[in-house]
Each structure stands twice: as C-alpha cells, then as structure tokens.
Structure 1
Amino acid sequence: MNTMNFRSKVSGGLKKAALVTTVAAAALALAACGSSNSSSNKAEKDDGKLMTVTVYDDMANYQGVAKGWFAHYVQKKFNIKLKMVAPNVSGGGNTLFDTRTAAGNLGDLIITGTNHVNKLTKAGLLTNMTPYMSGMKYIKKYSAATDQITKLAGKKGIWGITNSVSSESPTKSSEGLEPITAPYIRWDLYKKVGYPKLNSTDDLLNALKDMQTEARKETGKNDVYAISLFKDWDSTMMQNAGQNLAFYGWEVNQPFALSKGNGSAYESLIDSKSQYVKGLRFLNKAKQLGLVDPESTTQNWDTMYSKYQAGKVLFAYWGYLGQGAFNTTSNMAAGKGFELAPLKNMKVFSMGNQPTGNTTFIGVGSKAKNKARLVKFINWLYSPEGVQIQQAQTTGYSAGPKGLTWKMKGGQPVLTEFGKKAQLEGGSVQVPAKWGTGTWKDGISTLNYVAVMQYDKDPTTGYSYGYVTWPSVLKLNQTKLSKDWSAHMDNATSSMDYLKKNKELLVGAGVSYTAPEDSSTVSTTRGSIGTQIVNSSWKMVMAKNDAEFNSLLSNMQKTAKGLGYDSVYKVDLKNAKAKNALREKTIKQYKEDK
C-alpha cells in the first residue's frame, strides 16, 4: 500500500484502544528498565545457521513465511527465511503493535513508522547497529537517513535507516513518468465515447457513466463498474475519498489538518467545503449514478485488484493500480489500457525527492539473533543489487534481478524476454527453477519496502533503477494506446510530461517529517473521532441522495466536535505548518550544499 504513502496508507496511524495503549505504555516502561541488548557496544557473533527471521512490517500485504523468487534469493544469499507479521493482513493495526511491544519483542527486523522510533528506543526494543557497521558502505552512504533516526531516538547510535532515500533535488518529482495519485481512466473506452471534455469532476463522472455503458455493451455483462473501492487502508479517514486531494495539489495523508503541498493553504478535514468532503461528494455522485461497485464495502485490495486485471473497473486513483493491473503488452497493443485523464484545472500533487528519506524506517530488534547478518541484509537492501531486486508490491518499477529480468546490451539496460513478460504483461509468468518457484508477481518482495527511490541513478548502469524510464522500455511502450493518448494530450510522452507542459503539477519538497508523538489523551481522542469519520464517510458515499448525504455530514461534524475534534485539529495544524517550515529549510539546505 500505497501505496500510500502510498501515501495515506503510510502516513496514517491506525486506531488505538485506550486500555491497550495504557497497558502497552506500562509494559514498555518495564521493558526499558530491564533492557541491555539494544545499546550494547559489543558485536555478537553470527552462528551461520539457517534462521527464520520474524519481520514486523507495517507496509506488508502478506503474512507468514515468504515464498517465491525474492524469498529464494534472500535465503540463498543470507541463509534466512523471512516470516512476515503484517498488521495490514491480520487486521490488528496498532493493537498488534502495542501487544507485541508490551511483550518486549516487536520483531527481529522492524519496519514501521518513524513516529515510533523514540518509544522503541527507550523501551530497549531496537538494536544499536553501530558495532556491526564495518563494511556497511551503503548504510553509510545514506548517513542523512540514519542521522534522521538518531535524532528521533534521542541518543547516540545507529538505530535504523529511513526508506525512500534519494540523492536528487527535493524540488524534483520523485515519481518518474507517472504521478502516484491522479485520475486515471480506461482510455480506449474514453475514445469510444468521443473524448468528451472534462472541465470538472462532474464531467468526469458523466464520461465514466457513458464509458460504463459502453463496456457493458462490449462484454455483455453488468458487473463492470466505473469505480471500485476497498477499506484496507482506512485509518482516521476513508482513504479512497482522500485521494481526491492530490488532484488539486493537496497532500494525501490522514491527520485532521489538510495542507497544500506548497504550504499555501490549510483546512479542516471535516469542513463542509474541504477537499476531503469534496472527495466524498464525488464518490456519492458516482454512487447515485450507479457507477460504484456494490462490493466496495466488503472487498479487500486483492479482490478489487483482480477486477482491474479482468477489465471490470474503469477509473483508478493510482497509476500503479489501473496501469499496473490492466496495461499488459497485449492490451496496450490493442489500444486498451489506463491513461491519465485530461481533467482541466488539475494541480496534481507529487512528492519531491527526500535526501533524509521518508517516514518509515527499518531496524533490527533487540532480541534478534545473528544481528550482524541482519545488518548486512539491511545494507544489501540499499545496495544497487538490493534496490534492483527488491521490487515493491505497490510501485513495482525496479528492474528485478540482473540476468533474469534484464541485461546490459549496447551499453544500455534492456528487459529480457522473461523480463518483458514479468514487467509488462501482468507478471503471471513462471520463474525458472533456479530462481525459485511460482510466478513472478507472487514472488515479489513481501517487505513492500522502497529503500532507495527508484528513479535515482543506478551507478552500475548509469540509468535509473526504474525500468520504465529506460530508453529501450520507452520504445517498447510506444503502443497503439500510448500513441492515441499522446495525440490527444499535446503530444506528451508521459503523464508527467503532460502535467509539466500544462503547469498542472505541484511538487511538495521531499522531507522526512515525523510529527511529535500524540499524548495519550490526543491519541485516544483521535482514535474515537477517526472511527466516527470513517464509518460516517462510507455511509455518506453510499447515501441515496444529496439530502441523506448532507444529513450524515452534519451528524458526523457534530459527533466529531463533541468528541474533541477541535483539540486534535489544533495539534495537526501545528504539525502541518511545521512540516512546511521543514520543506523550506530543506530546499535552502540543498541549494547551499550544491
């Protein structure tokens, strides 16, 4: 997820139960008193044996022992098996985090939000990696990312490293050819209904209605819907509705204070005219037009994704969803696929590169065995080979293993025949036996972790890690679909090219901002309010008419206010402004360093 980051998925904290939080806090305090492993200055010896490594991973969409080609590669290289503990799958959310930390062992490897660093360090649940840093040149290369964690830990040592690090300018988009969040539509059906002008989101819905009618006529089935939703990534807001924020330059995250990516405006999440409420109205209008999949309230990401693959959904908030699922080589050659919609007056938000990384980090648990090996594994994740291989489930643009999916030819990286099937045709191809078992897509890294930004330059090839930007792949991707899209989009070569040409892109400078941890009162209040907002939002989306929508909105606002919304909003607004101040400081620092 999320892709969220991707965006909202990564940034939003899940709801906490007050009792569990109180118990966990007490247990963490006790753990801190008795811990010594976390700050030891002596490097423990590695026994060299095969070991199963428990990975607590907020980003993972898979639970259990990892299988497939990536797991096979990791076991062969490091003699470890990855056993995933994934809140996204188990449904435990922060309750699972609190329960495991209360027990004194979150995991052998820990991938979680940077907002937890201070608490985990104080509780003695993180390892100081300093004794194991000899030869770890890639962790050392991104010292700004480890320094960020040291600051949050509040004590000397290397306690982890942030994700999505980059050496590129923070004011340059980190998103390659496609923005992560933007309005994507089935272009072939848009073409069939006559390329109607999209001057507003209402025009977009009317076009989607015609497209849905056309798709049902083509397939002879009524199970094709313009829009399909899911609940997996909801936290303190309905994240699907929140994606609308990115269309107009607002940052997609899940606190109660919304902010424009350049710091020029702020607003309350539940304000009647907020971008979030506009997103709810957009989906409700779609529902009233019969465009929303009725299974949206019960399905998960995987179920929804399969519908995109089958061509049963016509609109996507993310390029990696619509294009990733449906834009196979054969579909694009036939002129079918998802492309950016020409919605007028867009100001699509795009995250800039982040020299200090993002708000997720990876570290070693204090109770882990063979810590030297785990530090080597983390170092490898940040190496060129590790970045190439560790393709994230949500973004999926890294090249994959050299020799399997790509090779060098004429001084340039090119996809192999297997690579074309794996990367461009949906990934259902079986991997060769020596690389493991199963299909390519089923074997992608269960960590779902982006260590280095995929559009940074790979020093071993001289080209971007992200294969979609390679000249050889750009040539392959000149299909019937892309040519028609380009002809109607100012001859743009990509979505980013179109947005830049039309000045419809807003880059929020890349920073790693971690808001101060909520007090127990704010945390409990936030959780209670978030539950109300999410539940009310889904009801509003599914409302039968405008009157019902407005009534539900009014009740949600009154309930949230009664629970103490204003006090939490005040905290979030302060944090939003602090993040913008950090953006300004980061831009200035980058210019000075240059």
Structure 2
Amino acid sequence: MKLRKKIALAAVALVTAGLLSSCSPGGSAQQASSVSSFPKKWDKEITIDVFDGLANYMGMQDGWFGDMVKKKFNLKLNIIAPNVAGGGDTLYNTRVSAGNLGDLIITDKGQKLDELVKGGLVLDSTPYSQAMSHVNAFKTALTELNQGKKGIYAFPTSVSSLKPTQPSEGIDPTFGPFVRWDLYAKLGYPKLNTLEDLLPVLKKMQEAEPTAPNGKKTYAISLFKDWDGNMMVTAKQPTTFYGYDEMGFTLAKADGSDYQSLLDDKGQYFRALKFYQEANAMGLVDPESTTQNFDTMQAKVKNGQVLFSWWPWLGQAAYNTDANTQAGKGFELAPVKDLKVFSYGAPAYGGTQVLAIGSKAKDPERIAAFIDWLYSAEGAYSNNSQTMGAAGPQGLTWDKNSSGKPELTDFGKKAFLSGDADVPAEWGGGTYVKGASALNVTTVLPVDIDPATGYSYSYKGWPSYQDLTKTPLSEDWSAHMGGAVTTMDYLTSNKKLMVAPGASFTTPTDASEIQTLRNQLKAIIIQYSWQMSFAKDDAEFASLKKELQDKANGLGYDKVLKVDLANAKEQNAQRVKVAKELG
C-alpha cells in the first residue's frame, strides 16, 4: 500500500511558513564545496535513516546487501518503512513536521517531491553532482526530473539506456493470458482466435484435471477483491491483452488510437465482466472469489487449483517449480490470435519514485556516493529486485565464463532456481532472499544492458540461463509457438505487442470535488462489477449493467470521466513527444 500523495495541511503549513527554518531549501549542501570525486575509503562508520515509502521491511539492512554497503561505504542503513510501521501518513507527517524526514529519502516525484523541496526537507545535491558519474550517465532523466528547480534535489528511478519505444519488462510482459500448458497440450492445442475462445478450452482443461494434488477442486479462474481500486482489478486485466491500460475511469490504448469509458456499452471493461459471467455460468470460477484476498488466491495457484493467470508473475512464479516444469507441467502464454498485449516502454525520464538526500543528512557526501553506486553496474546487479531477475553480486551469484559471457554460479543456480540459499559468511551470511536490498526501488532497469558483458543485468535474459532452464514444458511450448524462446520473443516476432512509450507521465492530484465523486463512484462500480460477474443469466447481467450506468451518471460520473480522459490524452501526447524525440 503506497502513502497518499498529499501531505497533511498542518505539516505543510509548518514547513512553508518557515517554522522549520533550519531546513531551508538547499540545506547545508549550499555551503559545501563541490567535489570532483568521492573518497575511496570512509574511515568512520555511520548509520543513516532511510525513509522509504516503498520498503516492505523495517529495521537495519543486514545480510549480503548490508555487507556490501558496509564494506564499500562504512555505512549502515536503518530502513524506516511506513508500509510496515502502520499509520503511514501519520509517520510521514510527524517527521515532516519535525523537519527531518530522513538522511536518505525514497518518495514520489511530482507534488510530494515539490512540497519537500519547498519545505526545505531535501538537499540541493549540486555540489556532489560532478562526482556522480554513474548518475550522470542518465543525464536526460536527471535534468527532466529537476527541471524548474534551482538545483539537483532528486535522482530518478527505473532509468535505462533503452529507447522509450522498447519494452521495459524483459523476457515477459507485465500482462498476458497464461494457462496450464500441460492441460492445454492434452487437449491437442486447440485454436484460440479471441479471449472468449478460451472458455470452452478452460472448461475441458478443468474436466481433464478436476482435482489438484492436494485433493481440492480445481477451477479455471480464481478472483480476489483486495486490490480493487477505481474498478474491479481482475476485470481490468483482460483489457491489457488488447493494448489498454487504465487512467482513472478511462481505458486508454497504448498507441493513443482509442479511449474508452469503463461504462461504455460495448467497451473492453464490460467485455471482461461478461467473460467472467459466462465462465461462472459454466462452473469455471472459484466460488470463494468474492471473499478471498490475493494471498489466498496465489496459494491456490501454487497448489495447482487454478488453471488461468493474467500475469507471468502469478502463474509462472507460483506454479512453475523445477519439479513441475521437469514433469512438463506449468503456465505458459496461450496463443490467442488477436492479442495486442500492453507493454510499458522504458521510461525516458525515470519512474514514479525518486531518491533524495535529506536536508539534515549525516555526511551527505557519503550518501551521494552511495546513491551514485546504485546506478553503477555493480549497484544495478545488486540492488534491483530479485523478482525482476537482478543477477546479484558478481562472484557470488554469477560470473563471466571463459568466453566472457555471464552465467550463474552454483550458488546462483541454487539461490534462483531453488528459491533461496545460505550465503557464505564472507558475503554477510544469512539467506540470499532475506539479505537482499530492502530499498525495494529499481534504479537501473534490469533489462538494461551492462556494457561490460553485452547482456542485461537480469540473468533471465542471458543465453546461458535459457539453456540452463530448458525443460520439457518450455521446449513443448517453444515447439508450438514458432520456435520462440521467451514470451516476449513470441509477442514481438508475431506483432502481438503494443508498447506504450515510456513518457513517465505523473497523474495530477484530483480536485476535492472530483476526489469525493470518485470515491463514491468507484464503490458502486466495484459493487456492480462483482454482481455482474456472478449474474445468473444474460438478462440479469444486462439489468445490472443498466443500473450501474444510471446510478453512476446520476452521481456525476461524466465530471470525473472528463478529468480522466483529459489526463489520458495528455499522457499520450507526452508519449508521442518522447517517442519522436528519443524513440
């Protein structure tokens, strides 16, 4: 759960009124002399507070990542995580009011960053910029982020040397219709022209394996509620198979060719709801869908109780264990003929989050050096999320072979293919997973290329990894997908991918009236979406749809839609611009 973008008015008033005068914009760095290079050694150990709006761990960073940071910078990281602490807004506002959010801050760009700069809570890092050679390799993103500010107050995340028209995700897109391929194969690989053609196939797959190994009944589809926002989240997912992504109550196509209201009579959102309604009528939907959360549903996928997934990081991550794939079982992308899967282009100007040095930071020069390291090859390998395929420290999880190409070490194979491994004492001890970076922020995209190897920072993109992980499942899928080695390979070579150029658009904060209306509207949209998904027949589905449309329109849906549509079109304008300039 992310922190809200708005700082409490009381905290803002204190900051902007100058009551936090000791934190005036620019802080102590304005008096610092410019440095052209950082020291090679830091003699005194210090501990810094890292206020991290993304972190899912609170406390001291230990394990192999903590060991690396300690050895390189004599620095220890105390992670302050509002997601873990509870009352995230309260913790944030209390620290803002006190004038010291943290020594290192990871937060959202846009309004939140602007308020912190205005309130004097972040440092102007200009004196250290000359020495930050790794950050400066992404000068375009750095300049854009700090445009309009009299200094360098923040550093962008998710930067890349890739063009913004290139996919940012690696070997798998974020979205896609993934099915239990072994059961699909058992049916003789039936043709799938559209999303709806999946239903009779899923029915036969469910009949082919009516119970999971744990003895529980299998269902083709299992839904969950706890991620619902402006809409029913699982109803949004099928729209991405056809190039759409959400912007409030609008669905916008990646290429800007179409914009739909969620409530359009023949739009993609109602198409997805109808898909679930028909699936439920066929007995394909888990009846516990209306009460369970994501974790419960994910556990069912892991246990083999679910046969369809909207994401590779659900079906494949949970079910495609070494034992299952060696037995030819697992999730793979279904070859639906009319797919145009939405893909996020590499963000030209970085992602939503930023890094900043606090205005009261202990040893800001050392923190600047640490930040710069996060953008180096060593930092990109070591800091980024394991779920995104970051290869970890060279010499521990991977190394170059005799041909100079990267490959996993025996330890790396165990850590990544078996799920975890015990780290040698000289690397910090503990387990690999628990010792990973708790910052939970991507500095350089794992799909970006390391100039020293010519391959990505993600081990999943290495030929050696592809050879290593060949299984009866992957080879059968490849043989029936034109020889494609990865999902992204299949989609790109068959022109079934639609990339939204990475323009890093920031959605403006809603005006108070729009925010109030949105909260009322999304509640009834979600309520009726679930009811429509479980409607007993076509007549009830149509009746519920009409009720939803009438109630939404009566509540001022058109006012909110107008805002969302304008935002979607502005986002596309920025995508067009960045594709023209940098694509």
With the shorter chain as reference, the TM-score category is 0.7 to 0.9
CA distance in 1 between partners of 2:181 and 2:360 (Å): 52
- SS of the residue aligned with 2:310? strand
Closer/same/farther in 2, CA of residues 126 and 571 from structure 1, 3 Å limit: farther
Matched with 1:242 is 236
CA distance in 2 between partners of 1:571 and 1:584 (Å): 20
Q: Which amino acid counterpart does residue 479 of structure 2 have in structure 1? A: A
Matched with 2:173 is 179
Question: Is the 8 Å Cα contact of residues 236 and 254 (structure 1) preserved in structure 2?
Answer: no
After superposition, the C-alpha distances for 1:204-244 in whole angstroms (9 at most, x for unaligned) are: 13323332333334626225433334445433233332222
CA distance in 2 between partners of 1:281 and 1:162 (Å): 41
**Counterpart check, 1:204 vs 2:191:** no
CA distance in 1 between partners of 2:434 and 2:292 (Å): 20
CA distance in 2 between partners of 1:142 and 1:554 (Å): 50
Deviation at 1:302, TM superposition (A): 4.4
- Choose the corresponding residue for 2:369, options 376, 388, 407: 376
Question: Is the 8 Å Cα contact of residues 258 and 268 (structure 1) preserved in structure 2?
Answer: yes
Equivalent runs, 1:318-337 vs 2, <5 Å: 318-337=311-330
Deviation at 1:162, TM superposition (A): 2.0
**Counterpart check, 1:216 vs 2:210:** yes
Matched with 2:39 is none
- SS of the residue aligned with 2:505? coil
Question: Is the 8 Å Cα contact of residues 270 and 276 (structure 1) preserved in structure 2?
Answer: yes
- SS of the residue aligned with 1:589? helix
- SS of the residue aligned with 2:179? strand
Matched with 2:108 is 113
| TM-score of the two chains, using structure 1 as the length reference | 0.86
Closer/same/farther in 2, CA of residues 516 and 220 from structure 1, 3 Å limit: closer
Closer/same/farther in 2, CA of residues 185 and 67 from structure 1, 3 Å limit: farther
Deviation at 1:309, TM superposition (A): 3.3
CA distance in 1 between partners of 2:355 and 2:562 (Å): 30
CA distance in 1 between partners of 2:434 and 2:305 (Å): 22
Question: Is the 8 Å Cα contact of residues 257 and 572 (structure 1) preserved in structure 2?
Answer: yes
- Choose the corresponding residue for 1:53, options 49, 63, 73: 49
Deviation at 1:197, TM superposition (A): 2.2
Deviation at 1:331, TM superposition (A): 2.5
Question: Is the 8 Å Cα contact of residues 60 and 76 (structure 2) preserved in structure 1?
Answer: no
The farther-off stretch of 236-245 and 453-462 is: 236-245
CA distance in 1 between partners of 2:207 and 2:85 (Å): 38
Closer/same/farther in 2, CA of residues 323 and 435 from structure 1, 3 Å limit: farther
Question: Is the 8 Å Cα contact of residues 5 and 108 (structure 2) preserved in structure 1?
Answer: no
Matched with 1:516 is 508
Question: Is the 8 Å Cα contact of residues 23 and 360 (structure 2) preserved in structure 1?
Answer: no
**Counterpart check, 1:129 vs 2:116:** no
- Choose the corresponding residue for 1:339, options 332, 340, 344: 332
Question: Is the 8 Å Cα contact of residues 235 and 254 (structure 1) preserved in structure 2?
Answer: no
**Counterpart check, 1:566 vs 2:558:** yes
**Counterpart check, 1:227 vs 2:214:** no
Matched with 2:26 is 39
CA distance in 1 between partners of 2:440 and 2:291 (Å): 24
Q: Which amino acid counterpart does residue 31 of structure 2 have in structure 1? A: K
**How high is the sequence identity, in percent, across the aligned residues?**
48
Deviation at 1:498, TM superposition (A): 1.7
Matched with 1:4 is none
Question: Is the 8 Å Cα contact of residues 384 and 458 (structure 1) preserved in structure 2?
Answer: yes
Deviation at 1:399, TM superposition (A): 0.9
Any stretches of 5+ residues in structure 2 without a counterpart? 36-41
CA distance in 1 between partners of 2:263 and 2:97 (Å): 34
- Choose the corresponding residue for 2:142, options 141, 146, 149: 146
Matched with 1:398 is 390
CA distance in 2 between partners of 1:566 and 1:321 (Å): 35
**Counterpart check, 1:526 vs 2:518:** yes
After superposition, the C-alpha distances for 1:255-279 in whole angstroms (9 at most, x for unaligned) are: 2222111111111133333323333
Matched with 1:188 is 182
After superposition, the C-alpha distances for 1:297-343 in whole angstroms (9 at most, x for unaligned) are: 55554444444333333222221222223323333222122111111
Deviation at 1:414, TM superposition (A): 0.6
Matched with 2:408 is 415
Question: Is the 8 Å Cα contact of residues 110 and 362 (structure 1) preserved in structure 2?
Answer: yes
Deviation at 1:350, TM superposition (A): 1.3
After superposition, the C-alpha distances for 1:157-183 in whole angstroms (9 at most, x for unaligned) are: 112122211112222222222111111
| TM-score of the two chains, using structure 2 as the length reference | 0.87
- SS of the residue aligned with 1:55? strand
**Counterpart check, 1:73 vs 2:65:** no
Question: Is the 8 Å Cα contact of residues 327 and 424 (structure 1) preserved in structure 2?
Answer: no
The farther-off stretch of 574-583 and 558-567 is: 558-567
Matched with 1:446 is 438
- SS of the residue aligned with 2:209? helix
Closer/same/farther in 2, CA of residues 298 and 218 from structure 1, 3 Å limit: closer
Q: Which amino acid counterpart does residue 486 of structure 1 have in structure 2? A: S
Query: Which protein is bigger by CA-based radius of gyration?
Result: 2
- SS of the residue aligned with 1:210? helix
Matched with 1:259 is 252
Matched with 2:423 is 431
- SS of the residue aligned with 1:407? strand
Question: Is the 8 Å Cα contact of residues 15 and 236 (structure 1) preserved in structure 2?
Answer: no
Question: Is the 8 Å Cα contact of residues 391 and 445 (structure 1) preserved in structure 2?
Answer: yes
**Counterpart check, 1:268 vs 2:255:** no
The farther-off stretch of 576-585 and 399-408 is: 576-585
- SS of the residue aligned with 2:441? coil
CA distance in 2 between partners of 1:359 and 1:225 (Å): 37
Deviation at 1:374, TM superposition (A): 2.6
Matched with 1:6 is none
After superposition, the C-alpha distances for 1:467-519 in whole angstroms (9 at most, x for unaligned) are: 11212112123221111111211222222222223221111112122233333
Matched with 2:378 is 385
Question: Is the 8 Å Cα contact of residues 62 and 86 (structure 1) preserved in structure 2?
Answer: no
CA distance in 1 between partners of 2:579 and 2:394 (Å): 35
What is the RMSD of the two structures over their aligned residues, measured on CA atoms? 3.2
Q: Which amino acid counterpart does residue 239 of structure 2 have in structure 1? A: L
Question: Is the 8 Å Cα contact of residues 117 and 149 (structure 1) preserved in structure 2?
Answer: no
Question: Is the 8 Å Cα contact of residues 354 and 512 (structure 1) preserved in structure 2?
Answer: yes
Q: Which amino acid counterpart does residue 272 of structure 2 have in structure 1? A: G
Question: Is the 8 Å Cα contact of residues 198 and 204 (structure 1) preserved in structure 2?
Answer: yes
